Structure 1
């Protein structure tokens, strides 16, 4: 069963350059996409809710201080 975490980023003109934000997110394994969401992370195996929460914490730490807001949604294959 494929699990994906989708990420939407809202940039701030007083924050970090978008290219820096993209680089940091790609280092976490995110891939840029087009559409409503800006990035997708494809889990290598089935993820638990706790793992998704821990990943959200990691995203938060990675984006801290960059002046961006983010929204995440993690969906199983049935929900996509």
Structure 2
């Protein structure tokens, strides 16, 4: 399974390069296309783990002025 992340930046928030570093430190990889970042679980994962990971993303981006959308498939 993979978790995809789409990020919306605000000109009043953190710089995109700073957000990139925060997300890379969580294990995301930058990508081009429909999504901005991808996290590869390397196996199937249960919904509780996905929500725990979502909480980590939320805490990492809190206060940055960034909005995000996560999608796991």
Could you tell me which runs of 5 or more consecutive residues in structure 1 were left unpaired when the two chains were aligned: 76-80
Structure 1 residue 44, shift from structure 2 partner: 3.2
SS class of match (1:47): coil
Matching of residue 45 in structure 1 with residue 34 in structure 2: no
- The alignment covers a number of residue pairs equal to 73
What CA RMSD, in Å, does the superposition of the two structures yield over aligned residues? 0.7
Matching of residue 59 in structure 1 with residue 61 in structure 2: no
SS class of match (2:70): strand
SS class of match (2:2): strand
TM-score computed with the length of structure 1 as normaliser = 0.88
Could you tell me which runs of 5 or more consecutive residues in structure 2 were left unpaired when the two chains were aligned: none
Structure 1 residue 20, shift from structure 2 partner: 0.3
Find runs of 4+ consecutive structure 1 residues off by over 2 angstroms: none
- Which sits farther off after the overlay, 25-34 or 41-50? 41-50
1:13-65 per-position Cα deviation (integer Å, ceiling 9, x unaligned): 00000000000000000000011100000013321011001100110000000
Find the counterpart in structure 1 of residue 5 from structure 2.
Answer: 7
Higher CA-based Rg: 1
